[in-house]
Amino acid sequence: MNYNFDQEINRMKTACEKWDDLETRFGVNDVLPMWVADMDFKAPPAVIEALKERVEHGIYGYTYRPDSYFKAIVDWVSQRHQWSIKKEWISHSPGVIPALAFLLRSLTQPGDKVIVQSPVYHHFFRVIESQGRTVVNNPLSFKDGRYTMDFTELEAQIDSSVKMLILCSPHNPVGRVWTREELTRLGEICLKNNILIVSDEIHFDLVYNEYKHIPIASISEALAKQTITCFSPSKTFNIWGVQTSVVIIPNCDLRERYNREINSMAIGWATPFGIAALESAYRSGGEWLDQLIVYLEGNVDFVRTYLKNNVPQIKLVEPEGTYLLWLDFRELGISMEELDQFILQKARLALNEGHIFGPGGDGFMRMNIACPRTTLEKALLQIEQAVKQLFPTGK
């Protein structure tokens, strides 16, 4: 069947953070929100039907994870990512960021150093620091409009107190889908220095057709034993609200330590709606996802063409995955603070400010394009009009 991603759906008054809580985050409530990383599309019909069926049963008591739940995960990862995982490797978390907190608590000690690669998902910094660990930033290199890892600098930053590296794969916000060669080189450095890799792969299904996501743990047995992989159907199928994420830990010792941590806090329970949503998404959501990717690629094409023809001062960093665009506003020649206010007050948009993603983010903005094209067109028109007001004689 054909799915309608052009449908505009009113999300107001649904306790939606993206649309209903703008005042808290931005101090205004009359701007177009394109920030929080969820989609303005309905979940796949199969997921909606599975949740309806579960709701209509009427009893929502204690729930365990049946074999069918594990099989859905194993089959999805095998079919979509050509990685054979075992049922016993699978653990759980309400979300990927909580999983990072539990992993930091169970596998590192206060004061240990943890590497991230900025500009990167801003909650990485927060979760590391909140657990009393120290951030070591290995900034990505940006050259000719493309980001790459700086392996030379990475090796120079490593000392005996570095215990973990958090990899963002695909990378949020810059949209890179790391190649096998890049991941292999990164893995070699971590293996050599006995550094655990925690790979946040929550966007791993959202990769454009020219590219291929490779789970870093799938590259070799040695890397599998050194890597914890976190993902979820939440971004793929727009079901973050069911609070169900997957943590793959092939190393038995690491898995036991992680499970002790979550069990000590009594947070390992399953929810009936999480089970129903995950199973139905991974069993029946493939065709919907394929069409979603095509639609998102169309949105990327639309942004690329619009900016080139109407606002050439703003550069699109070409995305290889995710529905989050990294836009370069530096040619406008305004300060970080001025850019924040320009987007909010002049363009009337709520975007994620580039500087919150750490060093290297100044002068950029992150835009969520998982929305109907009419919404995207409106946002770009507002940017165009704001730029023309900023430079009435052109620039």
pLDDT tens digits for 331-346? 999 999 999 999 999 9
pLDDT of amino acid 391: 83
Burial of 284 (0-12, 13-18, 19+ CB in 10 A): middle
Q: What is the C-alpha separation between 191 and 185, in angstroms, rounded?
A: 10
Burial of 348 (0-12, 13-18, 19+ CB in 10 A): middle
- For residue 164, pLDDT over 90 is answered with yes
Q: Which long-range contacts (CB under 8 A, 24 or more apart) does 271-275 make?
A: 271/63, 271/242, 271/243, 271/244, 272/54, 272/60, 272/61, 272/63, 273/51, 273/54, 273/60, 273/242, 274/242, 274/243, 274/244, 275/63, 275/65, 275/66, 275/69, 275/244
pLDDT of amino acid 258: 98
pLDDT of amino acid 395: 58
- For residue 299, pLDDT over 80 is answered with yes
Q: Residue 268: which pLDDT band, with cuts at 50, 70 and 90?
A: confident
Q: Residue 388: which pLDDT band, with cuts at 50, 70 and 90?
A: very high
Q: What is the C-alpha separation between 363 and 354, in angstroms, rounded?
A: 6
pLDDT of amino acid 320: 98
Q: Residue 392: which pLDDT band, with cuts at 50, 70 and 90?
A: confident
pLDDT of amino acid 21: 96
Q: What is the C-alpha separation between 233 and 14, in angstroms, rounded?
A: 21
Q: What is the C-alpha separation between 186 and 132, in angstroms, rounded?
A: 25
Residues 183-210 have a mean pLDDT of 98
What is the residue-averaged pLDDT of the chain? Answer: 97
Amino acid at 288: W
Q: What is the pLDDT of residues 369-385, one digit of tens each?
A: 999 999 999 999 999 99
Q: What is the C-alpha separation between 144 and 179, in angstroms, rounded?
A: 18
Q: What is the C-alpha separation between 231 and 240, in angstroms, rounded?
A: 12
Residues 145-152 have a mean pLDDT of 98
Which residues, 6 or more positions from 359, have their beta carbon under 8 angstroms from its beta carbon? 118, 119, 137, 139
Which residues in the chain belong to E strands, given as ranges? 32-33, 90-93, 113-116, 134-137, 141-143, 146-148, 162-168, 196-200, 227-231, 245-248, 315-317, 324-328, 349-350, 352-353, 364-368
Q: What is the pTM of this model?
A: 0.97
Q: Give the CA distances from residue 76 to residues 82, 182, 247, in Å, rounded to whole numbers and listed in that order.
A: 9, 24, 14
Residues 243-254 have a mean pLDDT of 97
Task: With CA atoms as reference, report the closest residue to 41 among 12, 1, 7.
Answer: 7
Contact 370, 323 (CB under 8 A): yes
Task: With CA atoms as reference, report the closest residue to 385 among 350, 343, 327.
Answer: 343
Q: What is the pLDDT of residues 11-48, one digit of tens each?
A: 999 999 999 999 999 999 999 999 999 999 999 999 99
User: Which residue matches tokens 């987007």?
Assistant: 343
Contact 389, 346 (CB under 8 A): yes
Residues 175-182 have a mean pLDDT of 98
Residues 70-78 have a mean pLDDT of 98
Residues 230-245 have a mean pLDDT of 97
Q: What is the C-alpha separation between 358 and 128, in angstroms, rounded?
A: 14
